[in-house]
Structure 1
Amino acid sequence: MEHLDADAQEQSPGRGGPDAATESFVAHRNLLFTVAYEMLGSAADAEDVLQETWLRWSGVDLDEVRDRRAYLVRIVTRQSLTRLRTLGRRKESYVGTWLPEPLLTTPDVAEDVELADSVSMAMLLVMETLTPSERAVFVLREVFGLGYDEIADAVGRNPAAVRQIAHRARGHVADRRPREEVSRAENRRVIEAFRKATETGDLQSLLDVLAPDVVLLGDGGGIRQAVLRPIVGADKVARLILGGLGKAPALTLRLAQVNGALALIAMTGDDLDTVMALSVTAGRVTGLYAVRNPEKLTRMERVTSLSR
């Protein structure tokens, strides 16, 4: 989808001024991608939604548009809702656990606590449990701070209904999200301890850094070997991790900013093997999300800019 901006630049001057549609689209592109990604959990699908959004936007009479940002968000939201139905059917036949597509993100995403939380692997999985309408309303209201009237236009509901959906979605998310905020320093300390224990094969140190009820989720997409169902419990998770590394002696772990938070990237020589996001609570790892499906790792070759 890197061609999108180039394609847009080639459009002839349209209504609203020379290249006005292009300028507005490019100015809000990172925001639009972020909206689509948070709703879909897939960068590839988010890029497709942006292409569809551009095609519709390029035919709009800009003289009739009062707020270009709001109009673009409305288009991308409606296209994302349509795409969610396709994704739902695709996930039904997915081999093993479906995890969101990880993104290599810029440091400024981590600085924006609310944005970083909203694109974290754990939060994206929580949002997977919402209905499409709830997900759209939650993202637009809680993450991007849109008013109920604007959201109503985007999702095709009246403001009163949107308020009810927002209340329901907030409660649903609150019941499932981590209740304790962890400082970035504490998060780094725990992840560094996890990495060291894993690289040295120290079972006891690994058990010490894992919460008793830690959950490991893996996504190989039927292409790469991965656990097909959640693995629960520190002993099971630790032995599985160390056993897996024992079969891949050339595997190395390095730290990276993934989805706005510190994560681990497993490399086999120069090849990317696994992206592992971690959730930390009370000084221990409570969740491990290992993405191995190569089709979901293509965005890890470059940094993705997110904004709100």
Structure 2
Amino acid sequence: MIALSIKEKYINFISCYKDGVDFFVDDFGSFRKRDDSFNNILNSILIRKKISKSNMKSKKVMAFLDLDKVIFNQFKAIPQLENENLLSLHKTSMFGKNAISKFKDYHYQGCSDNKIISVYIDENIRREYYEGCYNIGLNLKVLSMGLFSAEYLAREVFDAKSCAKYMIWSVGDVFDEVMIIEDGLLKNVFQLLRLDKSFKIINLFGDSKYAFECADSIKKNFEKSLSSIDFIDKIYMYQKSSHCDMKKIIKKNKDKVIILNPLSKMNLPKKAKFDEISSSYLSEMGYIFKQQATND
């Protein structure tokens, strides 16, 4: 399996396979994006020595996007209306009848307050990724958002599901991404503009009052310790690329923050080493464990 998360300036990737119950890593890394051609990105990964010479080559690919590359919508489920009709109604109201074919939609029902979150991906982007894989003999199995994939990793591999309330915090240079889960249901998803000592929520979905209270509490405790934040049991944190730096946050909050990194649950090549924080961007490939669990 080859999985990659696509950033504005960087590409993060991992190549791995499952043998029995164990996961083995061929190669992983992060490199600066030189152009936007998905074919060129894939080829630059495939020609890497450890991947091209692997005895367990896979034709399956996963690709993950940031929140600002998709369009969100949220609405309450209506018992009297079939979900398929409800979803079609909302998609038409957002884009109009003539434009609905321009977006591929995905839906998440595991939300609090009986809400549904719809995610729309530009059909041109989706087609480029699928055709880019197909043209070189690969199969794009998953196209999703990195934050949602990281939440799966935290829940199923790092046992976040044992917590009543937990947060997934993706640390960027300026823009962070945050997801809050309460009693197994999605409470909030938002981007957080973290500049100097200011915190500003943008692109918020879910319970807005709760989200602003969370952001305000983080701001008040950020320079001291997040351990005093009592509305969350645990914070599962990773950084968006090797060029971000969350070490200062971790140093002050070891009792509250758990570093997400799938490499700690995998077998690496002989003599290979990894830095738990700087390579934590691989958390966005968490769906690898989901796909392999279903042997898909």
Structure-1-length-normalised TM-score: 0.28
The structure that is helix-richer by fraction is 1
The structure that is strand-richer by fraction is 2
With CA pairs under 8 Å and 6+ residues apart, which has the higher RCO, 1 or 2? 1
Structure-2-length-normalised TM-score: 0.28
